[in-house]
Amino acid sequence: MSKITAAITGVSGYAPEYVMTNHELETMVDTNDEWIVSRTGIKERRILKGEDQGTSAIAIPAVLDLLKKTNTDPAEVDMLICATTTPDLVFPATANIITAETGCVNAFGYDLQAACSGFLFALATGAQFIETGKYKKIIIVGADKMSAIVDYTDRATCIIFGDGGGAVMLEPNTEGLGVQDSILKSDGSGVPFLHQKAGGSRRPATQETLDRREHFAFQEGQQVFKFAVKGMADVSAEIMERNNLTADDIAWLVPHQANKRIIDATANRMGVGPEKVMINIQKYGNTTSGTIPLCLWEFENQLKKGDNVVLAAFGGGFTWGSIYLKWAYDPK
Ligand code: UT7
């Protein structure tokens, strides 16, 4: 029997309607459009509005659309992993809310927290389940409502984040397509540079944690930037080298969208030209677990069967990694 690989057989995304431009941010903090565009590449981001709307409100429409596009009966889905840093609730998992609301009644699921590398880690995990031969349809979601934990008085941080996400279907493939290799890394010495101080078991919510604004994402941007440039470029170069890939062999680089300068540094290190790099940071900013599926969704029509695709991410934790896959279908 030929080896089973895990192939992406469909992709969908969801960007909330409300557009927050750099000009709107100018009315909230001391910043300007020129600074934000030149330092990050971001022009606008989406914000999920409305009472009681959590990350599942992004994931559910994406999954429903994915089921429709792939002509999948939700009852056939075996598993759903939701990569997110902004779950609807501390517990239970957002994956449970998504499966219940999308009719995936036979799927088990859980959330995976790896900050901005979440989608990559979840995709690598789902691929392992497919490769066992026991699971036939797995949905990988990457979604975040970053506006729930962004401090809109912190100009160095609030300008990069936005809300959004997407989902992919993973299925077994026996033509050698799909996930070929992955490199995943974690280093907890990065915790001080990007984290949320309160709201976990170490510092549960109190009036003091609220007054000190500790329920927001805290970031030392310059430090994170330094590690991100090196981390994302290193793993992307390493995955090329160990799979004997030259820049010419690569059809697409799909980078996490945190800062256009980090993306450019990664592409340069790989020797990949800008025409092969998926970029939509200008429209959505950094949606954490959402960036890579949002890119795949937007560029789906340009992907061809057999294309060599490298995904790369870096995020809080620190977590980082890359995945090399062969795209499994032509534009429909
Ligand atoms: O998603 C995965 C994890 N996150 C990342 O990968 C993000 C990595 N970090 C970054 O992308 C960048 O560090 C930021 C975009 C967050 C910040 O850009 P930077 O070039 O590192 O700015 P900085 O913090 O070094 O600040 C440079 C200057 C400072 O002024 P002085 O001290 O030189 O006078 C800041 O006060 O820019 C000032 N500044 C701003 N000015 C206008 C910081 N934020 C702003 C702002 N508007 N929004």
Residues of the chain above pLDDT 70, percent: 100
Specify the pairing of strand 194-196 against strand 217-219: antiparallel
Give the pLDDT confidence of 5-15 residue by residue, as tens digits: 999 999 999 99
Question: How far does residue 36's CA lie from ligand 1's centre (Å)?
Answer: 9
**With 0-12 CB in 10 A as exposed, 13-18 as middle and 19+ as buried, what is 186?**
middle
Catalytic residue among 22, 158, 286, 295: 286
The mean pLDDT value for 67-90 works out to 98
What is the Å distance from ligand 1's center to 73 Cα?
Answer: 46
Would the pLDDT of 119 be above 90? yes
Fold designation for 180-326: Peroxisomal Thiolase; Chain A, domain 1 (3.40.47)
| Neighbour count for residue 317 (Cβ, 10 Å) | 23
What's the mean pLDDT in 246-269? 97
| Ligand 1 surroundings by CB, under 6 angstroms | 31, 35, 39-40, 116, 155-156, 159-160, 194, 221-222, 224-225, 228, 258-259, 262, 286, 314-315
Measured between alpha carbons, how far apart are the two ends of the chain, in Å?
29
Work out which ligand 1 atom sits closest to the CA atom of 258. 1
Q: Is the pLDDT of residue 332 over 90?
A: no
Per-residue pLDDT, 78: 98
Residues of the chain with CATH 3.40.47.10: 5-176, 180-326
The residue to mutate among 119, 151, 259, having the most atoms of ligand 1 within 8 angstroms of its beta carbon, is 259
Query: What CATH code is assigned to 5-176?
Result: 3.40.47.10
**H/E/C letters for each residue in the chain?**
CCCCEEEEEEEEEECCCEEEEHHHHHCCCCCCHHHHHHHHCCCEEEECCCCCCCCHHHHHHHHHHHHHHCCCCHHHCCEEEEECCCCCCCCCCHHHHHHHHHCCCCCEEEEECCHHHHHHHHHHHHHHHHHCCCCCCEEEEEEEEHHHCCCCCCHHHHCCECEEEEEEEEEEECCCCEEEEEEEEECHHHHHHEEECCCCCCCCCCHHHHHCCCCCEEECHHHHHHHHHHHHHHHHHHHHHHCCCCHHHCCEEEECCCCHHHHHHHHHHHCCCHHHECCCHHHHCECHHHHHHHHHHHHHHHCCCCCEEEEEEEECCCEEEEEEEECCCCCC
Residues 31 and 203: their CA atoms lie apart, in Å, by: 31
Query: What pLDDT does residue 50 have?
Result: 95
Do residues 231 and 239 lie in contact, with contact meaning Cβ atoms separated by under 8 Å? no
What is the Å distance from ligand 1's center to 218 Cα? 13
Q: What angle do CA 150, 148, 15 make, to 5 degrees?
A: 100
Confidence of residue 289 (pLDDT cuts 50, 70, 90): very high
Q: What is the pLDDT of residues 178-233, one digit of tens each?
A: 999 999 999 999 999 999 999 999 999 999 999 999 999 999 999 999 999 999 99
The arithmetic mean of pLDDT across residues 135-148, rounded, is 98
- Mean pLDDT confidence for 254-271: 97
Query: Once rounded to an integer, what is the mean pLDDT over residues 314-328?
Result: 97
Active site annotation includes 256: yes
Q: How confident is the model at residue 87 (pLDDT cuts 50, 70, 90)?
A: very high
Closest ligand 1 atom to 288 CA: 1
Residue 2: pLDDT band with limits 50, 70, 90: confident
Predicted TM-score (pTM) of the model is 0.97
Counting atoms of ligand 1 from 1, which one is nearest the CA of 156? 44
> Mean pLDDT, to the nearest integer, of 137-154?
98
Nearest-atom index, ligand 1, CA of 256:
1
pLDDT higher than 80, residue 1 = no
- Pairwise CA distance, residues 71 & 56, whole Å: 22
Give the Å distance between the CA of 319 and the centre of ligand 1.
20
Give the model confidence (pLDDT) of 37-51 as tens digits: 999 999 999 999 999
d(CA 303, CA 273): 16
State yes or no: pLDDT of 325 exceeds 80.
Answer: yes
- Taking residues 135-155, report their average pLDDT: 98
Distance 157 CA to ligand 1 centre (A): 7
The one catalytic residue among 96, 104, 256, 280: 256
